[in-house]
A = this chain, B = another copy of it.
Amino acid sequence: MSHNGSTFRYLGKGHRLIEGLEKVTGNAKYAGDLKISGMLHACLVLSPYAHARIVSIDASAARAMPGVVAVLTADDLPTRDRAVNSRHSAVLAKDRVLWRGQPVVAVVGETETAARDAADRVVVEYEPLPPVVDVRKAASPDAPVIWTEGLPKEGADLTAAHAAVDKGEQETTGAPSNIHDEVHFARGDVERGFTEADVIIERVYCTPMVHQGYLEPHASVAEPDPYRGGVTVYASTQGQFSVRDEVARLLSLPRHKVRVVPMTIGGGFGAKYGIIDPLVAALAVTVKRPVRLVLTRTEDFLSTTPSPAAIVELKVGARADGALTAIQARVLMDNGVFPFTLGGIVSILLGGYYKCPNVKIDCYEVLTHKPQAGAYRAPGAPTATFAIESTIDDIARALGRDPLAFRLQNAAETGDPMGNNDPWPPIGLRLVLERLRDHPAWKDREVGPNEGVGIAVGGWPCGMSPAASVCRVDTDGTVRVHVGSVDISGVNSSLVLVAAEILNIPPEQVELIQGDTRSGPFAGPSGGSQTTYSVAGAVASAARAVREKLFHVAADHFEASAADLELRNGMVSVKGFPDKAISIGELAAIAESKAGGPGPIVAEGSAAVSENAPGFVAHLAKVHVDPETGQVTLKQYVAIQDVGFALNPTMVAGQIHGGSVQGIGWGLYEAMVYDEYGQLLTASFMDYNLPAFDQVPDIETVLVENPSPHGPFGARGVGEPPITAGAAAIANAIRDATGVRVTEIPIRAEMLWRAIQVGAGLRPAPTPMGRD
């Protein structure tokens, strides 16, 4: 495969997952697998109410149970004086409970069973209080205010990691309110834009809280250092450094006293930035022994951080010639009990996919008595994309235009404004549309009875935390690459290729070493599609520095100029003298023993790219809808994505498969359903509906390689984009098959059947959001 005029030997070709063997043999070590000498087990008592006052806690019966070491409440922990203002840093409830599932008491026992049995004996007396569950009600001026005295202060903006874009001015309103933040973006004059429009479509779109649905529930083991007062946390996390900082803050420890070791992770998708770790660390420090906590699936559903629900009121106008004239949106985000701010990114995407001179977006971040919302793969993007791409599809239809040609006409290009009016860096939105235009699934589409084909685009700006890497060559030629990033997506299998390519050695000769907060080096958390984009650049830089050092040793060895050397197959040779060749391992051995030489072959490299590299997709879904039941069957699915350059196409395709399946989940299956009391009705995989194997068609992935100017070898972030467009493409396909426009996801059979019965535009009740 060639790229930028050069030919790659390993990059750009498919390679298997390097840790596959550990995983399929059950040998990979997850946090919950750890057994530490003297380790205790924790079990949490969760609040049964969405809002209540804690009247009393009677732990006497629990403490009397055999094998119980401690029964602890908020005041027993070193976190007692620190502000808890995020579920990311939650410890135990104090005085009040604010959502169903909030941890109230922790029982620590010699075995998991002992802890669980004792947790059942803890008697907590509550005085139930009226919960604020509905987001519209919560946002209204006369709503009961959740944080009457303001939110506890301290802490950091945890959404910053996900997308390196300006999320706009976030105003905090003065008077007590459940609206904790607002963002407002505008360009042009939307009123005039609508007067210029020949067609206007205005709808209200609803997307639910969706859970990340990782295979491995939250798990953490904390081991205190009773001699020096620190703690080591073995975490299931996407970012050990951010967990470390939060554990240190909440336990009032200097950061260097907290070591966070990221274990193999069984899925994170945005939810694993340290939810239970501060609590487990606090328990361990308090009981002075290692403590392990692994949530059950139900506990995980109840107490972690699903994606926020949203209501998007969207109005779009276009002229008869196809040009968009105005986009106006009002967005309500349902963030649960602590602030979370996706309004900025929702706005960026709502007003950014298409050229439009007049845009006005007003976004309100709302608190309710539900678990705090958190990041879920491309957080905010499925919501924004479902809204804008459903509307665009209908405008094209209203204008009698081909929906793909209509999108191509309006598609944003490099330099066009995003929803926040910042210009897009180089993007490939048009390219993916053109590739779809020429794809047989679109070009030659045929539909049978009750079938339809829908398309949608989607995109993600891509994060770009700086990162460093250290590269070393051993005497047997093994190249070791140190990184501080967590592998949530097979990225390590790509990083290995980067070093292999630069040093021209088989990937099997490269070992990737993932550091913890102590051993480093630093990398940002693995989220926001930034890991390959940032860390691969650091690895490349370190490998290149190592190559230079090898050339230096070889030049000395051959008494040649470094400029006359070449590196092939792990051998450095003098150009034109193939006999004059020495392996990189032998060079390392020379360097490790030569007095007055350059010293062992070790080098550092770093990357801090100055511009992000958005990834765009065009998805196509073909559906069959059973008019008798409303049952939707996916017949075909094509995912086209601008990946910049696929370092390891196997992993990239895997990312696109996984993201597409999750997009299908958004479209057809998944929702956290709360009743009017704030009780979660879907707290198990029996009730929370993940797409099953037989509900997912073959997904065809098409990689468009539109190199990013700054990414390593032109790579772009690829993790988030595949989830963005699925719900919209499916909704558009259903519209194509049935004539019904559904404005709420997931599009479940019953809902669709009702809509088909009543006709387009039906808004079924009751809704998943408990609105009336």
Contacts and interface: CB of A to CB of B under 8 A. Distances in A.
Interface of A: 21-22, 25, 27, 35, 37, 164, 227-228, 245, 248, 254-256, 464-468, 470, 472, 474-476, 478, 480, 482, 511, 513, 517-524, 538, 591-600, 602-604, 606-611
A474 B519 contact: no
Contacts of A604: 470, 602-604
Contacts of A593: 465-466
User: Would you list the 6 A-B pairs with minimal beta carbon distance, nearest first?
Assistant: A599-B606, A596-B610, A522-B600, A255-B476, A256-B478, A468-B600
A608 B549 CA distance: 14
Contacts of A511: 256, 518
Contacts of A523: 600
A255 B518 contact: no
A113 to B, nearest CB: 20
A354 B609 CA distance: 63
A439 to B, nearest CB: 35
A595 B482 CA distance: 21
Given A513-B518, A604-B470, A599 B538 contact: yes
Contact of A467 (B245, B255, B518, B599): B599
A596 B612 CA distance: 11
Contacts of A606: 598-600, 602
Contacts of A594: 466, 608
A611 B596 CA distance: 8
Contacts of A255: 474-476, 478
Contacts of A254: 476, 478
A347 B630 CA distance: 96
A239 to B, nearest CB: 12
Given A466-B594, A468-B600, A472-B521, 13 more contacts: A25-B227, A255-B475, A256-B474, A467-B599, A468-B472, A470-B470, A474-B520, A520-B600, A591-B608, A595-B608, A595-B610, A598-B608, A604-B604
A524 B595 CA distance: 12
B468 A599 contact: yes
A602 B256 contact: no
17 contacts: A25-B227, A35-B37, A164-B595, A248-B476, A255-B475, A465-B593, A466-B594, A468-B599, A468-B602, A474-B522, A480-B519, A521-B600, A522-B592, A538-B599, A591-B608, A597-B608, A603-B604
Contacts of A600: 466-468, 520-523, 606
B228 A520 contact: no
B464 A595 contact: yes
Nearest to A511: B256
A460 to B, nearest CB: 17
A513 to B, nearest CB: 6
Contacts of A517: 474
Contacts of A475: 245, 255
Contacts of A472: 468, 520-522
A108 B654 CA distance: 45
Nearest to A475: B255
Contacts of A474: 255-256, 517, 520, 522
A662 B228 CA distance: 33
A254 to B, nearest CB: 6
A145 to B, nearest CB: 34
A465 to B, nearest CB: 7
Contacts of A35: 37
A595 B466 CA distance: 7
A598 B466 CA distance: 8
B591 A466 contact: yes
Contact of A228 (B21, B164, B521): B21
A685 to B, nearest CB: 30
Contacts of A521: 472, 600, 602
Contacts of A22: 227
Nearest to A534: B599
B597 A466 contact: yes
A254 B478 CA distance: 10
A261 to B, nearest CB: 13
Nearest to A603: B604
Nearest to A256: B478
A440 B480 CA distance: 57
Contacts of A538: 599
Contact of A256 (B256, B464, B476): B476
A255 B513 CA distance: 16
A602 B227 contact: no
A110 to B, nearest CB: 18
A597 B522 CA distance: 14
A517 B476 CA distance: 12
A607 B602 contact: no
Contacts of A248: 476
A217 to B, nearest CB: 23
Contacts of A519: 480, 482, 513, 519
Nearest to A464: B595
Contacts of A609: 595-596
A547 to B, nearest CB: 14
A607 B248 CA distance: 36
A380 B398 CA distance: 96
Contacts of A596: 608-610
A597 B603 CA distance: 19
A604 B549 CA distance: 12
Contact of A522 (B21, B464, B602): B602
